[in-house]
Amino acid sequence: MQRENGRTMDRLASPAPPPARLLTVAWAAIVAAVWFGLFVPSMRPGIDGSSDLDGYFFPKYVYGSETLLSGELPLWNPYELCGTPFVGASQPAVFYPPRLILFALMPPTAALHVFMLVHYVLLGVGVFLALRALDLDWPGASLGAIVVTFQPFIFNPYTPHWLAGFTWLPYVVAAFVRTLERPSVRPGLGLAASGTLSYFQSSGCSSLLVPSARGMLRPWGEERWSLSRPRWRSWR
């Protein structure tokens, strides 16, 4: 009870956040300005095929989408080595919903730009929500969103699989915290949806993100809910 009262007083003392819609629009404008002003002019895809983007991910995204739109399931990739499994490989993300929708509705190059922009915007929003769920004030959560999104490992135009896989991790964290604090359908559905999207975009690196987050949050969850442990044990 004292801890909850302390958290309530801290929130009352913190500055009121701007409207959520205003923050989201401002964040989208910042991401678009950095993307088109910094990265797009410096990108040189297709010159020598040396980058992972134009030599690996982009062709697979296009091939997977074109094959599905033709009514076939892309089980096999005949263009790599002597042929390799396609659906069975994780990095092409054949059934990842955002990739499916964008590459089905738009030309490939435009779809790739929108794919990257949407995920950078979603990542920043997710980090903000996760940090707010962990009791940071909105200025600290905003700074955290900027730092996480623009750090070199993530803000890299040549590794869309890392970006897409990492995007849903903060939503998992935020939904997990809200589910513990106030169990209800909404945070539970958020946890299920974010975990499912992360699974569909799983790769060798990003597939470990959700289990890692769960492991990191376990001590925090046990400490926060230590007072209710005796009641849980009584049910056994």
Provide block-wise average pLDDT over 10 residues at a time, the chain (236 residues): 49 65 91 86 56 80 89 88 83 87 90 92 94 89 92 78 87 87 87 85 59 60 53 42
Question: What pLDDT is stored for residue 229 in this prediction?
Answer: 47
Question: What pLDDT is stored for residue 123 in this prediction?
Answer: 94
Question: What pLDDT is stored for residue 222 in this prediction?
Answer: 58
Instruction: Indicate the domain borders of the chain.
Output: 20-42+107-226
Question: What pLDDT is stored for residue 154 in this prediction?
Answer: 79
3-state secondary structure of 5: helix
Q: How many alpha carbons lie under 13 Å from residue 20 in its C-beta half-sphere? A: 5
Between CA 44 and CA 140 the distance in angstroms is 36
3-state secondary structure of 112: helix
Between CA 106 and CA 92 the distance in angstroms is 18
pTM score: 0.80
Question: What pLDDT is stored for residue 143 in this prediction?
Answer: 93
Question: What pLDDT is stored for residue 216 in this prediction?
Answer: 61
Question: What pLDDT is stored for residue 182 in this prediction?
Answer: 82
Between CA 33 and CA 97 the distance in angstroms is 26
